[in-house]
Amino acid sequence: MEYEDWTTKNCLKAILPENVEFSGFEQCGHIIHLNLREKLLPFRFVIGRILLDKIQRTRTVINKLDSLTHDYRIMDVELLAGDADYATEVTENGIRYKLDYSKVFWNSRLITVHSKTVEQFDGNSVVFDVFCGIGPFILPAVKLKNVIKAYGNDLNPAAIDFLKQNAKLNKISEDKIEGFVLNGAEFIQKIIPEKIYFHCKELKKEKLTNLVFHVVMNLPGYSAEHLPYFCGFLSKFEEIRNLFENNSFSILVHCHFFVKGHDDVPMSWYDKEAKKIVCEKMGMEDVEIKVSSLN
């Protein structure tokens, strides 16, 4: 039997010790992305070669080196096999995305988070994404849910460039999306209030009701740290207070963050801990939290 006749699984099993198992991979276009455990690192280059040979359409195999510590959320990667070509295109829920792994962040495993969040938008929604990346919340919000407008922000200029490219790629009108390159705090305190004020004036003029402003924060390591910036962030626009108090519009913050616990604690513990974190960050004694599983 020749190498060409062996399956990927059998090849990997043959080169790894009995007590070491391959941990799987993510494929985006021609790129295979690995996040290898320490035990697998001595075998990483031969693993890369096998995947390059055996998985169809593969031209590049990379391994993630560290956690996302860069301000721009760019992964440090090591080329294991193939070409150093990190530009590719992926499709998620019918939306096409061009990206470059060396310049921007992308994780195909977040498709459920993207889908379940976007599902809450509708034609009465205005969407703000504080850490928008290349647009996995913004683009489907406009294309699939026909929201009034979507505002995306990212500290990484390359991410906003790709957001605009991907809007054109998906035939989304330029007047439906606006991009900003700011830190999250500035976007929350300056841009979001100004845009809410603008849309509320339109709301009043056209006598519309039930407008919902959705603010997405999907940077789990830092999202909760940005909650204090919402305290009093509309205070300089007193004239829209009546609209808010009359339920003409509402603001819903989708704050995705990590709650660390032990394996033996019940799910209810995580709910309580999440509530505690939000109360601490917002300076409140109590808060009502809508708990929804994104798994």
Tens digits of per-residue pLDDT, 236-275? 887 777 777 776 788 999 999 988 887 788 888 888 888 8
How do residues 81-134 score in pLDDT, each as one tens digit?
Answer: 999 999 999 999 999 999 999 999 998 889 999 999 999 999 999 999 999 999
Q: Which CATH number applies to 3-85?
A: 3.30.300.110
CA-angle at 122, arms to 120 and 123, nearest 5° = 165
> Predicted confidence band at 290 (pLDDT cuts at 50, 70, 90)?
low
- State residue 237's pLDDT score: 83
Residue 63: pLDDT band with limits 50, 70, 90 = very high
Predicted confidence (pLDDT) at residue 1 exceeds the cutoff of 70: yes
% the chain with pLDDT above 90: 68
The DSSP H or E segment spanning 271 is helix 267-282
> Which tokens go with 243?
């609209």
Separation of alpha carbons 198 and 194, rounded Å:
6
Mean pLDDT value of segment 67-80: 77
Average pLDDT of span 202-227:
87
Span 134-153, pLDDT tens digits:
999 999 999 999 999 999 99
**What are the extents of the domains in the chain?**
3-85, 106-258
Pairing label, strands 31-34, 60-64? parallel
d(CA 84, CA 87): 9
- Based on the number of CB atoms within 10 Å of its own CB, is 225 exposed (0-12), middle (13-18) or buried (19 or more)? middle
Higher pLDDT: 5 or 59? It is 59
Which two tokens mark 61?
């195999």
CATH of 106-258, one of 3.50.50.60, 1.10.3720.10, 3.40.50.150, 3.40.50.720: 3.40.50.150
